[in-house]
Structure 1
Amino acid sequence: MLGIGSKFPEFNLTAVLGNNEMKVVNSSSYNGKWMVFFFWPKDFTFVCPTEISGFADLQSEFEDRSAQILGASMDSEFVHLAWKKDNAQIGKVNFPMLADIGGNLSSELGIKDVDAGVSQRATYIIDPNMVVRYASVTDLNVGRNPEEVLRILDALQNGGLCPVNWKKGESTLNPDA
C-alpha cells in the first residue's frame, strides 16, 4: 500500500457526479485542495452504501476544510449510475464516484485485492501538493468511520502535535512547555 509521504499517482478516471452527469476527473481537477480519496470494494453491496452515505452526510464539513471527497471502486461509471438510481442512500451522493475499471489506480496504490477482484477498503488523505498524509485499509467486511477521517484531516491541517482523540479547536501539545 502506498504510504505516508509518497506522491499520490496521476489518475484520469470517469466519474458520476451528484447530478448523475458523467465527467472525466483527473489528478489536477482539484489543484490547491486537500483530497479525501476512498475506495470501496463493489457497488450493490451491503457495507459500502453505509460508508458512502456516511461520507455524503459530512460532505459540507469536508468542503469547509477545502477538501474534496472522491470515492472509487473498480465498477464502471454505468454501474455507479445504476446504483445511484436504485439506492436512496447512494442517490444523495454529490461527490464524484470514480470508475477505476481494470483497477489500474488500485494496483498502483497497492490496494487491489487480486483474489477478490476488487479494490480494498482503503482511505487516503492527500495534501494540496498530492502528497499522501494519511492512509488506511480495513478488511473487506469492516466499514470505516468518516467522522474519524474528518478528525484526522483537522489534525493534519492544524499542523501541531495532536494528542489522542484530539478534536478541532482543542489545544495541541507543546513539547517545550
Structure 2
Amino acid sequence: MLGVGSKFPEFNLQSVLGKDQKNTFKEINSSSYNGKWIIFFFWPKDFTFVCPTEISAFSDLQKDFEERNTQVLGASMDSEFVHLAWKKENSEIGRVNFPMLADIGGSLTDELGIKDAKHGVSQRATYIIDPNMVIRHVSVVDLNVGRSPEEILRTLDALQNGGLCPVNWKKGSPTLQPGNE
C-alpha cells in the first residue's frame, strides 16, 4: 500500500456530480484540483449499508473542507451509472455534493494497493493529499466499520497547521514547542 510521503498516483476517472444524467458526468483527473488539498476516500460497494452513512457524513462536512481549501473525492469500483442509480434511489446519497468517482476495473485501487483480496473491492481507505499530490495521511479500516469524517477533518487541520500537534489537538489549540517542557 502506498503510504505517507509517496506521490499519489495520476488518475483519470469518470465522476457523478448530480442526479440528472444530462450534466452529471464529469471526467476528473489528478490535476483537476491543482493547488488544493484533497481528501480521497474509497468505499467497497454502492447499495450497501455502512457506506451511505459515512459518505453522507463526509458530505455534511463539505463546507468545512472547502473552508480549508480542500476538495473531497469519493470512489468505489462501481461504474458512474451505478453511482447515479444509487443517488436516485437513496436520499442520503442523493444529497452528496462532492464527486463520486468510478474506478471501474480498480486500476487506481490496485496502484494504491488497497484492493481487498478476499472480496475484490476497494478497502475502506482514506487519503489526505497535499497540494503537491503527496500523501500526508492514510488510514484503512475493516470493511464492516465506518470511518469518522470528523477525525479526518481534525487530522487535516493538524497537517495544515504545520506545528507539532499533540494527541487530540484541535484547530486553534496551542502546538508543542520543543525544549519547553
TM-score in same-fold range (> 0.5): yes
Check conservation: 1:6, 1:131, Cα contact below 8 A: yes
Rounded to whole Å, the distance in 1 between the matches of 2:19 and 2:28 is 15
Which residue pairs with 2:90 in the alignment? 87
Misfit runs of 4+, over 3 Å: none
What's the CA shift string for 1:74-110, capped at 9, x where partnerless? Answer: 0000000000000000000010000000000000000
1:160 maps to 2:158: no
1:2 maps to 2:8: no
Q: SS state of the match for residue 49, structure 1?
A: helix
Match of 1:31 among 31, 34, 44: 34
1:129 maps to 2:132: yes
Check conservation: 1:39, 1:123, Cα contact below 8 A: yes
Which residue pairs with 1:14 in the alignment? 14
- The alignment yields a C-alpha RMSD, in angstroms, of 0.8
What's the CA shift string for 1:2-58, capped at 9, x where partnerless? Answer: 100000000000000135400000000000000000000000000000000000000
Check conservation: 1:13, 1:100, Cα contact below 8 A: yes
Rounded to whole Å, the distance in 2 between the matches of 1:100 and 1:49 is 18
Q: TM-score, normalised by structure 2?
A: 0.96
Which residues in structure 2 correspond to 1:37-76 (within 5 Å)? 37-76=40-79
What's the CA shift string for 1:122-168, capped at 9, x where partnerless? Answer: 00000000000000000000000000000000000000000000000
Match of 2:154 among 139, 151, 156: 151
Rounded to whole Å, the distance in 2 between the matches of 1:19 and 1:86 is 10
Equivalent position amino acid for 2:177 in 1: N
Equivalent position amino acid for 1:120 in 2: Q
Q: TM-score, normalised by structure 1?
A: 0.98
Match of 1:107 among 81, 86, 110: 110
Shift in Å, 1:117? 1.5
Equivalent position amino acid for 1:59 in 2: Q
Q: SS state of the match for residue 138, structure 2?
A: strand
Rounded to whole Å, the distance in 2 between the matches of 1:24 and 1:84 is 18
Check conservation: 2:123, 2:142, Cα contact below 8 A: yes
Check conservation: 1:126, 1:134, Cα contact below 8 A: yes
Q: Which runs of 5+ in 2 are unaligned?
A: none
Rounded to whole Å, the distance in 2 between the matches of 1:19 and 1:48 is 18
Equivalent position amino acid for 2:34 in 1: N
